[in-house]
A = this chain, B = another copy of it.
Amino acid sequence: MNQRNKPVFAGRIFSVALEDHRLPDGRMATFEMVRHPGGAAALPVLDDGRIILIRQFRPAADGTIWEIPAGRLEAGEDPVDCIRRELQEEIGYRAASIRPLVNMLSAVGFCDERVYLYLATDLTPVPSALEEDEFIHPVVMTLKEALRLLDGGAILDAKTQLALLLAARLF
A157 contact from B33, B105, B166, Cβ within 8 A: B105
Task: Kindly name the residue among A72, A110, A158 whose own CB sees the greatest number of chain B CB atoms within 10 A.
Answer: A158
Distance of A19 Cα from B59 Cα, bound (Å): 9
Say whether A60 contacts B105, CB under 8 Å.
yes
Known: A8-B9, A32-B11, A165-B166. A108 touches B23 (CB 8 A): no
Per-position 1/0 for A1-21, Cβ under 8 A of B: 110000011011110100101
DSSP majority for the A interface? Answer: mixed
A109 at the B interface (CB under 8 A): yes
- Asked if A124 is at the interface of the complex by the 8 Å CB criterion, the answer is no
- Decide yes or no whether A134 CB sits under 8 A from chain B: yes
Contacts of A61 in B (CB 8 A): 105, 108, 112
Interface contact B105-A156, CB-CB below 8 Å: yes
16 example contacts (A-B, Cβ-Cβ < 8 A) are as follows A8-B8, A9-B9, A11-B32, A16-B34, A21-B59, A24-B134, A31-B59, A39-B109, A60-B110, A61-B112, A65-B105, A67-B108, A103-B153, A104-B156, A105-B158, A106-B106
